[in-house]
Amino acid sequence: MTDGILPAPVAALLDVALVSELTVVDGSGRPVTYPLIPLYDGTHIFMTSAVLFSRKLRHIKANPRVSVALTDPVGVPAEPFARATIQGDARVVEDDLHAGWEELLPLWRAKEPVIDSFVKKRFGIPLFFERSIIEIRPVRVQYWPAGDTSVAPQVFELTGAGR
Amino acid sequence: MTALAPVEAVTRAEGFDHVVVSFVGADGYPASVAGEFTCEPHAATITVGPIDPASLPVDGTEVCLTVSHIRPQPGIGYDERRYVNLWGPAHVDGRILSVTVEQASGWDEADVPFFEYAERSVPVAHDYFSDVGARPHLSRWWTFFLATRLPFLTATIVPIALGGAVAAYDDAFSLGWWLLALVAGCAVHLGLNIANDLFDDASGADAANTTPTPFSGGSRVMQYGLVRRRSLVWACAACYAVAIGVGVFLAAARGWELLALGVVGVVLSLAYTAPPLRLVHRGLGEPVTAAGFGPIMTLGAYFVCAEQWSGPAFYASLPVAILIALVLYVNQIPDRLGDAAVGKRTLIVRWPARRVQIAYAAAAVLTFVLIAAGPALDITPWWTLVALVTVPMARSVYQGICANYDQPYALMPAMQTNIGLHLFTGLLLVAGYVVAALV
C-alpha cells in the first residue's frame, strides 16, 4: 500500500483503482464528470489526459477545484470494497505534452502493465499519446466503509497536505 | 462525447449498476456520492437512494449523474467502455434524490469505436495545441514511416521481384540493374503515397474520413499536425526526382523504350489523385493501380535486366496486378463515406455492398484461374502453381468483407489478410520462377 497523506484505507482503494470519476466545474459552474485511471504517489493524485479529450483541462485551468470518486466495484477491485471521494486542488502540467507524462509510467505500469505495449505503438495513434498531467493535491476525503453511502461517511480534513 | 436526448440517456442508464451524483458544494469543490438508482425513461427521471442526507446537495442544485462501465481485460486493457452523463436540477426528499434530466451526453464504444471517437476529437486536440502554443511530435523515423506509408512498399517490391524472377528464368537476370529498378520503383511509390495524401488533404477527403485504419484513410500526418504541408511537398518532389533520375539513367543505359514505360508510370501515379484527371475520383483507381503495380513494374524490371520485352512477364504480372487492385478496393470500403462526401466516387462508393463483394470474389477467382492456366498454356513454369496455396486467404477476405462491410475496425483483419494475399501470392510466384530457373 502507498504510504502518504491519505488515510490508509483510501490509499488502498487508489492503489487498485483502474477507474475513478474525476469531476470538474465547467465555465457555467456545472459539474462535469469523466472516468479516468487515477495514480497516487503518496502526496498527489495524478491523472493524464490526451489532448484529444482536453476539454476537462480547460475547465481545470479555469477552476482548479475537483473531486475524485472511487465508486465502482469492478473498476476498484479492493477487498474489502469501500467507496471514497477525494476533493482537492488540481494543476495542469502541460509543458511537455509529448514526454512529460511518461514520468508517471512507473505508477501507471504497476496498475496497468499493458501500458508499455501501448506506448510502443504510439505512432499508430500519435495524438492519444500527447498528454497533459492533472496533478491533484487532496484537501478533504469522504470514506464509506463497505461502500454503503446510506450512512454518513468518515471525513478527513487534509489542510496543508501535499504542500 | 455525443449529445443524447434525455429519454434516450435515461434508457441507456438503466443497464448500469450504480450512479455517481456530483454537484458543486457550498465551498466550491465538487462533491460526489454513489448510490443505487431506478429509472423512469418515459419521464426522463432518475431516482437515487437511499443516501446519507448530509452527502446530498440542497434541493434545486444542478447535479451531474454519471453511470459508467468498463471490463478490465488483463494484458489487453479494457473493453465494453461506456458512460453517460446526465444533468438536471436535484429534487431532494430526505435520503432520496431524483433528477428529471434536461441534458445528457455519453460514449459507448459499441456504438462509436475508440479509434473513431479519437478521430472525431482531432479538432479538440488542435484547439488545445493552439492554446498552449505546442505542436504534436513524433520521432523522425516514425514520421517518415507514417508519411510515406512505408509498409505498403510490398506493392512495389513484389512486381519488381517478379520481373527479376522471370528474367532469371530466361537466364537474363542482372542484380545491379535490377536493384536500380527497385530504387526507381520504390521512389515513385513513396512519392505517389505522399502525393495521394497531399491531394486527398486538398480535396477534404482525408479530413472527412472519421474511420481511418492502419490500412486506409491516408497517413494523416497533416491532419494530426505532425508534418507541415510544405515539408510533404518537398518530400514528394524529392521522391519523384530520384525516381525520374534513376529512370532516365536506366533508359539511357538499357534502352530508350524503357522511358515510355516510366513516363506512363509517373503520369498515372500523379493522375491517380491529382487534378484535372483525378482518376480515382472517377472510379478508375483500380485499373490504374493494377497497371502501375502490375505490368508496368514487372515489365520495367524485366526490361532493365534483359533489354527486351517479354510476353510471359506481362502474363505473370496479371495476378499480382489484380491482387494489388483488390488491396486498394477493399481498403476503400471503410473510406467510402468520407470519399462520397467529397465526390471521390470510387467503385466502392458507386456500387452497393453486394456488388462490391461479388466483384471481389470474381476478381479473386480470375487471379487464380490465371495462375492455374499459365503452365497449362505453356506461358509460366509449373512451379508457379505453388501460388495457388493462397486460395484460402482470398476466401477469408471475401468472408470478412461480407461479415463486416459496415464495421471499419472489425474489417481490419480482412484488410490485413488481403494485403498478405497479394504479398504471399506474389512471392510464391517469384519462388516458382526461381525454382524453375534453378532446376
Q: Are A35 and B63 within 8 A, CB to CB?
A: no
Which residues of chain A does B78 touch, with a Cβ-Cβ cutoff of 8 Å? 18
Does A124 sit within 8 Å of B214, measured CB to CB?
yes
Chain A stretch 116-135, residues whose beta carbon is closer than 8 A to a beta carbon of chain B = 118, 122-128, 130
Q: Which residue of A has its CA nearest to B82?
A: A35
> Cell digits for B376?
497449362
CA gyration radius, chain B: 28
Whether A31 sits inside 8 A of B28 (CB atoms) is no
What are B166-183's pLDDT values in tens digits? Answer: 999 999 999 999 999 999
A30 falls in which pLDDT band (50, 70, 90)?
very high
A147 in contact with chain B, both atoms CB, cutoff 8 A: yes
C-alpha cell at A89: 486542488
- Helix boundaries (H) for A4-157: 8-16, 55-62, 105-111, 115-120
Nearest neighbour of B62 by CB, restricted to A30, A77, A118: A30
* pLDDT score recorded for residue A160: 57
pLDDT classification of A26: cutoffs 50, 70, 90: very high
Query: What pLDDT is stored for residue A2 in this prediction?
Result: 64
Cα gap B419→B155, rounded to integer Å: 9
Model confidence pLDDT, tens digit, residues B278-337: 999 999 999 999 999 999 999 999 999 999 999 999 999 999 999 999 999 999 999 998
Inter-chain residue contact A149 with B51, CB threshold 8 Å? yes
Q: Looking at the predicted structure, is the pLDDT value of residue A163 above 60?
A: no
- Put simply, the answer to whether B72 touches A149 (Cβ < 8 Å) is no
- How far is A61 from B302, CA to CA, in rounded Å? 64
Residues of A in contact with B50 (CB under 8 A): 150
Nearest-CA residue of chain B relative to A141?
B31
Distance CA B399, CA B397 (A): 5
The answer to whether residue A161 scores a pLDDT higher than 70 is no
Percentage of chain B exceeding pLDDT 70: 99
Tell me if chain B has a CB within 8 Å of the CB of A9. no
Contact flag A21-B145 (C-beta cutoff 8 Å): no
Surface-to-core class of residue A27, CB atoms within 10 Å of its CB (0-12 exposed, 13-18 middle, 19+ buried) = exposed
Rg, C-alpha atoms of chain A: 15
Confidence class of residue A162 from pLDDT cuts 50, 70 and 90?
A: very low
Average confidence (pLDDT) over B409-422: 95
Is A33 within 8 Å of B54 when comparing Cβ atoms?
Answer: no
Higher pLDDT, B73 or B241: B241
Asked whether the beta carbons of residue B33 and residue A142 sit closer than 8 angstroms, the reply is yes
Instruction: Using alpha carbons, list the distances in angstroms from residue B232 to A74, A90, B199, B243.
Output: 47, 40, 11, 16
Pure H helices in A30-150: 55-62, 105-111, 115-120
> Average pLDDT over chain B, rounded to whole?
95
Residues with Cβ < 8 Å from A126, sequence gap 6 or more?
B136, B138, B142, B146, B224, B226
Measured in angstroms, the CA of B128 and the nearest CA of chain A are apart by 6
Cβ separation A21–B142 shorter than 8 A: no
- Return d(Cα B324, Cα B292) in angstroms, integer: 10
Residues of chain B by 3-state class (helix, strand, coil), percent to 5: 60, 15, 25
Average pLDDT over residues B407-423: 94
Range A130-150 average pLDDT: 97
Contacts of A98 in chain B (CB under 8 A): 136-137
Q: Of A37, A51, A134, which to mutate for an interface test with B (greatest number of B Cβ within 10 Å)?
A: A51
A16 close to B (CB below 8 A): no
Q: Cα(B269)–Cα(B244) distance, rounded to whole angstroms?
A: 13
Contact B62 A128 (CB under 8 A): no
The sign of the dihedral angle between the CA atoms of B115, B215, B202, B191 is positive
The nearest alpha carbon in chain A to B147 belongs to A123
Polymer length of chain A: 163
Cβ within 8 Å, pair B23-A87: no
What average pLDDT is seen over chain A?
93
Q: Please indicate if any CB of chain B lies within 8 Å of the CB of A62.
A: no
8 Å CB contact of B75 and A19: no
Nearby residues of A104 by Cβ (< 8 Å), 6 or more positions away: A39, A46, A48, A133
